[in-house]
Amino acid sequence: MAQYLKPLPTITPLNQPYWDSLRRHELRMQRCDKCARVWYPPSPLCPRCWSRQFSWTPLSGRGRVSSWVVFHQPYFKGFESEIPYNVAEVELDEGPRLMTNLVGIANHDIRAGMRVEVVYDDVTADLTLARFKPSTS
């Protein structure tokens, strides 16, 4: 595997289950055991009812593009070879929103509301990122 030159996330005890699930090619987020709210980023309590009882729940991996931007200059050296590249906000069907990249689509074809599904990008031996591609269903 080639050396990964882009910034890497900081993995903490609070978000470790999220990153572990991605490495297994699963998308899991916290779901409140009291009110059923699903949220991201990870938190020690539910943002709706403040319960501290939650489970790491598998999600569908499906959602829609709510916003995006296309970068035409590299702010980090590791992105130089990918200019122009997109960064999108995807609203998952279960509610949370993720900042991600869209793959398998030209930047000029991205549209708000476009249906997408998760793909797993094993960027290092220990780190997998959730990216999204246009949905086939």
- Give 15-57 pLDDT, tens digit per residue: 999 999 999 999 999 999 999 999 999 999 999 999 999 999 9
- State the pairing for strand pair 62-71/38-39: unpaired
Burial of 46: CB neighbours in 10 Å, binned 0-12, 13-18, 19+: buried
The pLDDT-based confidence of 3 (bands split at 50, 70, 90) is confident
The pLDDT-based confidence of 84 (bands split at 50, 70, 90) is very high
Q: What is the DSSP letter of 83?
A: -
Number of other CB atoms surrounding residue 37 within 10 Å: 17
Q: Using CA atoms, how far apart are residues 126 and 11, in angstroms rounded to an integer?
A: 11
What confidence score (pLDDT) does residue 44 get? 97
Between 78 and 68, name the one with better pLDDT: 68
What confidence score (pLDDT) does residue 1 get? 64
Domains detected in the chain: 11-59 (no CATH), 60-137 (2.40.50)
Residues facing 120 on adjacent strands: 130
Predicted TM-score (pTM) of this structure: 0.94
